[in-house]
Amino acid sequence: MNQRADPQFVVNRLTERLLKDKSPAQCMLGRGPLRRRGRSCSECTAPREFDLDRAIGQLIDVGMFKRAPACPYRVITSHLAAGLILGPEAFRAKTSGRDRVNPSIEINKALKHIAAVIRASGLSRDDIGALSVKGSRWKGLWRLVSAELALKDALESFAQLQVPEIRRSPRGKRGSLQIQAVTRALASAWRILTGRFPAKDNVRFHDLLSAAVASLFGHSIRVPNWEAATRTALQRMKRDATDRT
């Protein structure tokens, strides 16, 4: 059974956490005492709300990030949020296939904005139509009224179409790119925290990757091939690094 999640909510929450983070700049893992229950240093303020957080805590407990230059929660969270918003795979995922928007919703938003401008002018639409011939100062309002009519026509046309539901689970080409965006972000964070990229068949990295995908998209019966995803991400990162030199 697939337990669905809301990727946008998770990304927004991770970003919010980064902005509110009060943890010290230097992580104390390996330099000071751990909390009694482990999974963080004595100064850590990172919340534990997603599968990803619990996976990071487990890696801390087994000593993967003993000499981390910065808080593992902060490093992994920041790389994941940035990768999903600005990363190359994330960008390709957003633009692949058909547009993932509901035209009716977006057009209605535009109509509301136009109506607000017209209402603020204190003029009726008929008044605007009559005044448009008397000077250029009214052309902007007149064009807004014309655009409003055109958008209403477009809205009627789109209303006759069946708009598919946006898929939140990583499937198909778009899903593969989403998985790659997550993998690339975590591989980069792993290198910062451990000093090296994930090695071949690195089960601990695969567990972290699995937890991140579960946090974003929910749990699914179909488990991606984490080793293949990792290998592809590393190849693309090395190729991009070569292209920049």
Domain boundary among 159, 188, 207: 159
The pLDDT assigned to 48 comes to 82
Judge if 11 and 54 occupy the same domain: yes
Indicate the pLDDT class of residue 191, thresholds 50, 70 and 90.
Answer: very high
What pLDDT is stored for residue 2 in this prediction? 39
165 inside domain:
no
pLDDT recorded at residue 162: 42
Same structural domain, 9 and 90 = yes
What is the rounded average pLDDT of the residues 141-163?
71
pLDDT at 158: 57
pLDDT of residue 199: 93
The top-scoring range by mean pLDDT among 54-58, 90-94, 155-159, 238-242 is 54-58
More confident residue, 139 or 51: 51
180 shares its domain with 91: yes
For residue 82, the model assigns a pLDDT of 84
Q: What SS3 state is found at 41?
A: strand
Residue 124 banded pLDDT, cuts 50, 70, 90: confident
Residue 175 inside a domain? The answer is: yes
Bridge pairing between strands 3-4 and 218-219:
antiparallel
Q: Is the pLDDT of residue 57 over 80?
A: yes
Residues 7 and 83 in one domain: yes
* pTM confidence score: 0.63
Q: Answer whether residue 164 is part of any domain.
A: no
Contact 179, 169 (CB under 8 A): no
* Judgement on whether residues 118 and 180 belong to the same structural domain of the protein: no
Task: Write down the pLDDT at residue 213.
Answer: 92
Give the count of domains, the chain. Answer: 2
Q: Are residues 19 and 128 in the same domain?
A: no
Any domain includes 213: yes
Higher pLDDT, 211 or 96: 211
Backbone angles phi, psi at 196, to 5 degrees: -155, 160
Residue 16 lies in a domain: yes
Pair (25, 75) in one structural domain: yes
- In this structure, the answer to whether residues 82 and 31 fall within a common structural domain is yes
Residues 41, 31: Cα–Cα separation, whole Å: 9
pLDDT at 19 > cutoff 90: no
Is there a contact between 85 and 8 (Cβ–Cβ < 8 Å)?
no
> In this model, does residue 169 exceed pLDDT 60?
no
Instruction: Kindly state the tokens that stand for 176.
Output: 């593969």
How many residues appear in the chain? 245
Same domain, 147 and 221: no
Q: What is the mean pLDDT of residues 75-85?
A: 87
Q: Which domain holds residue 116?
A: 103-159
Question: What's the whole-number mean pLDDT along residues 158-172?
Answer: 48
- Residue 118 inside a domain? The answer is yes
Residue 131 belongs to some domain of the structure: yes
Q: How confident is the model at residue 28 (pLDDT cuts 50, 70, 90)?
A: low
Percentage above 90 pLDDT, the chain: 22
* Per-residue confidence (pLDDT) for residue 208, from 0 to 100: 96
Q: Are residues 14 and 82 in the same domain?
A: yes
Alpha-carbon distance of 159 to 174, in angstroms, equals: 26
Strand partners, 244: none
Same domain (yes/no): 15, 130: no
Q: Is pLDDT of 18 > 90?
A: no
Same domain, 187 and 91: yes
Is the model more confident about 185 or about 240? Answer: 185
Q: Is residue 183 part of a domain?
A: yes
In this prediction, residues 214-233 reach a mean pLDDT of 86
